Amino acid sequence: MRKLATFDDRDSDPTVITADLIRTVDDDTPNATAMLIEGGKILAIGSPADVEDAAAEMQLDPVRIDRRGATIVPGFVDPHAHPLMFGQMLTWVDVSPEKAASIPDIVTRLKVGAESLPPGTPIRGYGYEQRNLVERRHPTRYELDEVSRDREVYVMNASGHGGVVNTFTLEKFGITKDTPNPDGGEFFRDADGELTGELSDAASNVLTGLGGVKIGHHGPNFHLGDEPAEHQRQLDIVQQKFLAGGVTAIGDAQVSKREFAAYLGMVDRGELKVRVSMYFLSHLLDQVLDLGLTGPFGNAFLSAAGIKLYADGTLGGWTAYFPEGYVGDPCRTGQLYHSVDEYSGLVRRAHAAGLQTATHAQSPVAIRIVVDAIEAAMIERPDPDSRHRIEHCGLPDTVEITRMAELGIRPVNQPQHYFNWGEGVEQAIGTPGERFNPLGEFVHAGVPVTLSSDAPVAEPRPLEAIQTAVTRMTSRGHKLGPDSLRISAEDALRAHTLEGAKTLGRENEFGSLAVGKRADFTVLGDDPITSAVEDIASIPVIETWVDGRRCYSTAAAKSARPVGVRE
């Protein structure tokens, strides 16, 4: 029988840890300078004298650790990420803007990456964003043919919702200029009707082959399969990435059988060191209901959380649903993944069973469809604490924000999206794009703000997300929208800690530092609240602790060399 073990079942030694400042994100004791921890829990918090008195009263002889000059905050919570996909990307060729500024740069890097691969192995790259390339466009299949004409070449767009393949790949899967577009996806063509090699969303199904994960119209298919042992290696790599960013808890926002099996494999090895809450894809709703996974299931490190749905596509790939067309391309409208009735039925079934839903929705139309469906489901079965989520929630109308506050709907936003390509949203849909992720409007309306990375769309760097939420400055130095869209550093820190835990339904376990909660915390080189706003992202993560154990330290990371990560 499988035992849902943590990475270390032993009780941690009692420890007193002190720092210049501990920002607890707890209303009762917002600031402290010392904590007493044992067995993975916080036993006391306050001043060093308070904590030493508590240790003596409990007859404990704790280890003492002083982090002078540092600020301790709760472990960051990243409630929307794709860890296994991110791990896969980290074993592919990096063609992100920092590595490849042009299409010839992408081709060169792919060629170099191919040199270390066995013959016939697919060549995969990740991270290009067409608007950040010199050419301001996607590569074409002909340009990828320069990499290889006798094996698959695929570069995934930074949005994660498609990319470009070479001619060999199209021919291998029988895709011609006469192949119809699948529902929920597109094989792009030039003015003469010839395939360009670009594909989006459901069209990516061809890359998985007959043994791949087929998710129909329930969302984009970017589940490229590897051997189970390779998935374990990928999760090991990516777990260190999250810990290095100070992240101690994750919401996996797209769990299929592939992800579930990979996590269970990690559990079997006793190597799962971050807390994972799983959101199963909506095509698995019947199985989830049949198994009765509608209440708490799992343990403190791996648990079932709810159902992930898709309403529309992505703004980065211009597949979010704008029926009036995009300013950059009036003939392109994007797409909905379900009819309104079909989507509402899925939400109603999940809600009736007590399942939290998390729906990807970017456009005003898609967001309104989600709010309407949740409202209807809650009329049928009132539940004021259902905490339904809208993932990304890029451009909600103000009336929908008011309704979200009334219904308790929680948007889960990614400021790093507009840090990386915020100008692209304005180029795509015009001036309304400056409202992309209107965090300040959420705060003003009483809608709780939750921040996340959407890794691998952005790296899990919570401090970068916090800085961007405060400044709304893009990587190119462009300020996106008016000051009313910004939020304070205090609100941003809370959004990436306690509000993230609330969004996962786990605020009684972690998200703030208080007696009885898990000893999950991050040691920072400076205080993100009092630092200059332009310096928040550069604050070093010195240590990351989970369950009262140090799982990451800068010193240890510098002495270790990552294995298997392709540069």
Instruction: Answer whether residue 152 is part of any domain.
Output: yes
Whether residue 219 is contained in a domain is answered as: no
208, 237, 264 - which closes a domain: 208
Is the pLDDT at 48 greater than 70? The verdict is yes
520: in domain: yes
Q: What is the pLDDT of residue 346?
A: 98
Do 273 and 300 meet the contact criterion of CB atoms below 8 Å apart?
no
200 part of a folded domain: yes
Q: Are residues 35 and 136 in the same domain?
A: no
Backbone angles phi, psi at 268, to 5 degrees: -60, -35
- The answer to whether residue 62 scores a pLDDT higher than 70 is yes
Decide which of 484 and 211 is more confident. 484
Tokens in use for 555? 């010193």
**323 in Cβ contact with 365 (< 8 Å):** yes
66, 178: one domain: no
Both 106 and 68 in one domain: the answer is no
Query: What is the predicted pLDDT for the residue at 212?
Result: 59
The CATH number covering residue 530 comes to: 2.30.40.10
Residue 80 within a domain: no
Average pLDDT over residues 2-26: 75
Which residue range forms the structural domain that includes residue 175? 86-208
**Residue in this structure with the two tokens 């703004």, named with its chain if needed:** 315
**Predicted confidence (pLDDT) per residue in 340-369, tens digit:** 999 999 999 999 999 999 999 999 999 999
Same domain, 160 and 47: no
Final residue belonging to a domain, choices 186, 208, 230: 208
Q: Give the pLDDT score at 5.
A: 43
Residue type for 242, please?
F
> In terms of domains, do 94 and 157 share one?
yes
Give Cβ neighbours of residue 283 (< 8 Å, ≥ 6 apart): 215, 216, 218, 219
Q: Which helix (H) or strand (E) holds 70?
A: strand 63-74
Residues 361, 338 contacting (CB under 8 angstroms): no
202 and 106 housed in the same domain: yes
What is the H or E stretch that residue 342 is in? helix 340-352
Could you tell me if 147 and 178 lie in one domain?
yes
Question: Do the beta carbons of residue 450 and residue 232 sit within 8 Å?
Answer: no
Q: How confident is the model at residue 7 (pLDDT cuts 50, 70, 90)?
A: very low
Give the pairing of strands 93-94 and 275-281. Answer: unpaired
DSSP state of 75: P
Number of domains in the chain: 2
Claim to verify: residue 107 and residue 202 sit in the same structural domain: yes
Check whether residue 99 and residue 164 sit in a common domain: yes
* 109 and 194 fall within a common domain: yes
pLDDT tens string 208-230: 754 555 667 787 766 677 889 99
Residue 6 has pLDDT above 80, yes or no: no
Average pLDDT, integer, range 546-557: 92
The pLDDT mean for the chain works out to 92
Across residues 295-307, what is the average pLDDT? 92
Looking at 193, 208, 223, which one is the last position of a domain? 208
- Is 157 domain-assigned? yes
Residue 188 sits in a domain whose CATH number is 3.10.310.70
Residue 358 within a domain: no
In a domain, 66, yes or no: yes
Same domain, 68 and 110: no
Regarding whether 137 and 64 lie in a shared domain, the answer is no
Q: Give the pLDDT band of residue 9 (cuts 50, 70, 90).
A: very low
